[in-house]
């Protein structure tokens, strides 16, 4: 197969934020092209958005149901190869299930579904169809994060003992959802966002990053959730004590009322031989702290970078690679994997390194467990299941 992969979209119209990010990321490596979409629940917005993306009107759909039905009837050399779902949380599950029913692979925004039960159903359907799914936990796409993951897997830090991960934002320090902010409006609405606010939105990112880098699964947690802006329906702040496999403990903090903060995601992992630290706002640096030798700073693109990091680097050392590139790495690895599958070829291990259905289920388990612990004064530690 010597062509670009054909992508459809559900959501991501001209009035949306994350849709443009997905398109930039998908197109960055020249592997993917947009061929169709239902870009909004409003047919007029879907049509105007599709036209602005230079799509023919015949491939701009009023509903995602119409899109899947009509795309499936097109010849194989015309119809989309996969669909990207970039709707609010409550509109993830139905289009994802329908896409699989019609034989289309999926890229989907996090959290993967509205409820844990939906995520489990989606996994069952995915296994039934044998199709591929990528979940856009963006921060696992940074080369320095992949460097950290591999170093821990190789035992360079020794036995892992402690994990600290935090994600601080300040954009919800005021009740902007009452001031016409569309992003805040749906993210703070339990009917559209789900049972968790800050923990569902950015806490899931922090938790996925901790499990991804360490390779350890959470076994139980003890949470405190807070609503600090009067009148808000969902948590905007919280802290979680974590217990991982192998007697490893951790602390997770997620807040959206840290006034003045932007996207301050940071992780520290400590073993009995050394520790590491990475911060999303300084993404090209991985700090290594050793028990018996001086601190080191690994820089993205240098000769010391391992194969998993190098396969996700586009430019030479000293040139910053940021959020869009990390996002694009998920699309690139997914597209390489999908292309290999379509060509009946064996994908390289590095191409399989992107979040998928298991990360999605872990994220929904995290949300359920945090809410169960954080809003019940009689409950402390809750098993992660």
Q: List pLDDT tens digits, range 88-122.
A: 889 999 999 999 999 999 999 999 999 999 999 99
Q: What is the DSSP letter of 60?
A: B
Residue 54 sits in the same domain as residue 158: no
Question: Which residues partner with 222 through β-bridges?
Answer: 241
Q: What is the pTM of this model?
A: 0.94
Q: List pLDDT tens digits, range 273-300.
A: 999 999 999 999 999 999 999 999 998 8
Residue 41 sits in the same domain as residue 166: no
Whether 138 maps to a domain, the answer reads no
Number of domains in the chain: 2
Q: Which of 82, 97, 131 is the last residue of a domain?
A: 131
Query: At 331, which helix (H) or strand (E)?
Result: helix 323-342
Query: Is the CB of residue 93 less than 8 Å from the CB of residue 109?
Result: no
Residue 49 sits in the same domain as residue 90: yes
> Cα angle vertex 205, ends 199, 208, to 5°?
110
Q: What is the CATH number of the domain that holds 273?
A: 3.30.360.10
Question: Which residues partner with 133 through β-bridges?
Answer: 106
**Where are any strands of DSSP class E within 87-132?**
105-108
Please give the Cα distance from 12 to 18 (Å, whole number): 7
Whether 302 has a pLDDT exceeding 80, the answer reads no
Whether 243 maps to a domain, the answer reads yes
Residue 196 sits in the same domain as residue 259: yes
For residue 40, give its domain range.
Answer: 5-131
Residue 201 sits in the same domain as residue 286: yes
Whether 212 maps to a domain, the answer reads yes
Q: What is the mean pLDDT of residues 325-353?
A: 96
Please give the Cα distance from 203 to 165 (Å, whole number): 9
Q: What is the CATH number of the domain that holds 45?
A: 3.40.50.720
- The dihedrals phi and psi of 135, each to the nearest 5 degrees, come to -115, 130
Whether 350 maps to a domain, the answer reads no
Tell me the Ramachandran region of residue 5: left when phi exceeds 0, alpha when psi lies from -120 to 50, beta otherwise.
beta
Q: List pLDDT tens digits, range 38-92.
A: 999 999 999 999 999 999 999 999 999 999 999 999 999 999 999 999 998 899 9
- Number of residues assigned to the chain: 385
Residue 156 sits in the same domain as residue 267: yes
Q: Out of 210-219, 248-257, 352-361, 368-377, pick the least confident.
A: 368-377
**Confidence band for 335, pLDDT divided at 50, 70 and 90:** very high
- The dihedrals phi and psi of 95, each to the nearest 5 degrees, come to -65, -30
Residue 213 sits in the same domain as residue 278: yes
Whether 310 maps to a domain, the answer reads yes
Query: Is the CB of residue 109 less than 8 Å from the CB of residue 35?
Result: no
Query: At 186, which helix (H) or strand (E)?
Result: helix 182-187
Residue 79 sits in the same domain as residue 20: yes
Please count the other Cβ atoms lying within 10 Å of the Cβ belonging to residue 91: 18
**Where are any strands of DSSP class E within the chain?**
5-11, 32-38, 82-86, 105-108, 133-135, 160-168, 218-226, 237-244, 249-255, 264-271, 274-279, 285-290, 296-299, 382-383
């Amino acid at each position: 197969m010597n062509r670009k992969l054909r992508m459809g979209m559900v959501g991501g119209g001209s009035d949306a934020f994350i849709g443009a990010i997905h398109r930039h990321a998908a197109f960055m490596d020249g592997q993917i092209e947009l061929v169709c979409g239902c870009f909004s629940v409003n047919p007029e917005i879907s049509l105007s958005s599709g036209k602005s993306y230079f799509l023919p009107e015949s491939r701009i759909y009023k509903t995602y149901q119409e899109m899947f039905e009509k795309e499936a009837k097109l010849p194989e050399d015309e119809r989309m190869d996969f669909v990207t779902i970039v709707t609010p949380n409550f509109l993830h599950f139905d289009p994802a299930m329908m896409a699989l029913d019609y034989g289309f692979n999926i890229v989907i925004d996090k959290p993967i579904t509205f409820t844990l039960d939906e995520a489990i159903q989606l996994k069952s359907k995915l296994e039934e169809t044998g199709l591929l799914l990528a979940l856009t936990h963006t921060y696992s796409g940074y080369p320095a994060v992949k460097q950290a993951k591999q170093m821990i897997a190789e035992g360079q830090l020794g036995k892992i003992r402690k994990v600290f991960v935090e994600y601080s934002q300040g954009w919800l320090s005021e009740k902007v959802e009452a001031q016409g902010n569309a992003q805040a409006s749906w993210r703070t609405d339990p009917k559209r966002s789900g049972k968790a606010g800050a923990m569902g939105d950015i806490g899931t990112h922090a938790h996925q990053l901790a499990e991804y880098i360490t390779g350890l699964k959470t076994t139980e947690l003890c949470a405190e959730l807070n609503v600090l802006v009067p009148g808000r329906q969902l948590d905007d702040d919280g802290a979680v004590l974590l217990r991982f496999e192998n007697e490893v403990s951790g602390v997770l903090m997620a807040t959206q009322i840290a006034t003045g903060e932007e996207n301050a995601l940071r992780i520290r992992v400590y073993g009995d031989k050394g520790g590491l630290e990475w911060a999303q706002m300084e993404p090209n640096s991985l700090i290594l702290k050793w028990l018996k030798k001086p601190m080191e700073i690994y820089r993205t693109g240098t000769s010391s970078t391992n194969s998993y990091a190098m396969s996700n680097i586009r430019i030479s050392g000293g040139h910053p690679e940021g959020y869009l590139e990390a996002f694009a790495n998920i699309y690139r690895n997914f597209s390489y994997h999908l292309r290999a599958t379509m060509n009946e070829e064996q994908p390289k291990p590095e191409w399989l390194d992107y979040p998928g259905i298991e990360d999605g289920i872990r994220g929904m388990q995290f949300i359920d467990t945090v809410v169960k612990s954080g809003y019940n004064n009689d409950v402390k530690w809750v098993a992660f299941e």
